[in-house]
């Protein structure tokens, strides 16, 4: 560690609640944490290995699919107004193989609900976008 590096500890804390570990996990934790968890962030992991296969197949059949629809059509449709009211931030990887599609669905939901929110997007790690650079014997379809 550099001797001139000073670490400043913050006296404030951030409370994070995790409500899911895979797509299809129990829907009970989200509202419980939102209402009673006193959290700043709600996080969930939607992308178990099995789920990725389902999402890839969905996107292959329909290029607008490939994201976890339950996140938008259930959790966010039901709880987004309360999430915004309580200023809780949501961090999920529900975009699956199509994060742009998930974002578009969230924007459409915001429009339907008459609310505005910031939606971050992480993308670029899909092997499908770089197939030409991958040696042909690396994986089979």
pLDDT at residue 1, as a whole number:
44
pLDDT at residue 23, as a whole number:
78
Q: Which residues contact 101 (CB under 8 A, 6 or more apart)?
A: 64, 65, 66, 67, 95
pLDDT at residue 141, as a whole number:
47
- CA torsion sign, 133 to 134 to 137 to 140? negative
User: Taking 90 as the threshold, does the pLDDT of residue 136 lie above it?
Assistant: no
- Please state, in angstroms and rounded to a whole number, the distance separating the CA atoms of residues 40 and 66: 28
State mean pLDDT over 7-31.
82
User: Taking 60 as the threshold, does the pLDDT of residue 139 lie above it?
Assistant: no
Geometric angle at alpha carbon 69, from 120 and 64, rounded to 5°: 80
The helix/strand/coil state of 49 is helix
Q: Indicate the domain borders of the chain.
A: 16-121
> Which of 19, 38, 120 minimizes the C-alpha distance to 78?
19
DSSP 73: I
Please indicate whether residue 108 or residue 10 has the higher confidence score (pLDDT): 108
Burial of 121 (0-12, 13-18, 19+ CB in 10 A): exposed
User: Taking 80 as the threshold, does the pLDDT of residue 45 lie above it?
Assistant: yes
What are the two backbone dihedrals, phi and then psi, of residue 28, each rounded to the nearest 5 degrees?
Answer: -75, -40
User: Taking 90 as the threshold, does the pLDDT of residue 128 lie above it?
Assistant: no
pLDDT at residue 137, as a whole number:
57
pLDDT at residue 124, as a whole number:
72
User: Taking 80 as the threshold, does the pLDDT of residue 126 lie above it?
Assistant: no
95 vs 23, 27, 33, 66, 86, CA distance in Å? 11, 18, 22, 7, 24
């Amino acid at each position: 560690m550099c001797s001139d590096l000073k670490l400043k500890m913050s006296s404030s804390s951030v409370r994070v609640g995790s409500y899911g570990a895979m797509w299809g996990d129990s829907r009970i934790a989200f509202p419980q944490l939102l209402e009673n968890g006193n959290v700043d962030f709600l996080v969930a992991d939607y992308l178990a290995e099995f789920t990725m296969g389902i999402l890839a197949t969905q996107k292959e059949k329909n290029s607008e699919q490939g994201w976890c629809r339950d996140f938008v059509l259930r959790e966010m449709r039901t709880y987004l107004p309360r999430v915004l009211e309580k200023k809780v931030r949501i961090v999920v990887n529900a975009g699956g193989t199509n994060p742009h599609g998930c974002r578009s669905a969230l924007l459409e939901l915001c429009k339907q609900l008459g609310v505005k929110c910031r939606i971050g997007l992480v993308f670029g790690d899909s092997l499908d976008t770089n197939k030409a650079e991958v040696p042909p014997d690396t994986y089979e379809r």
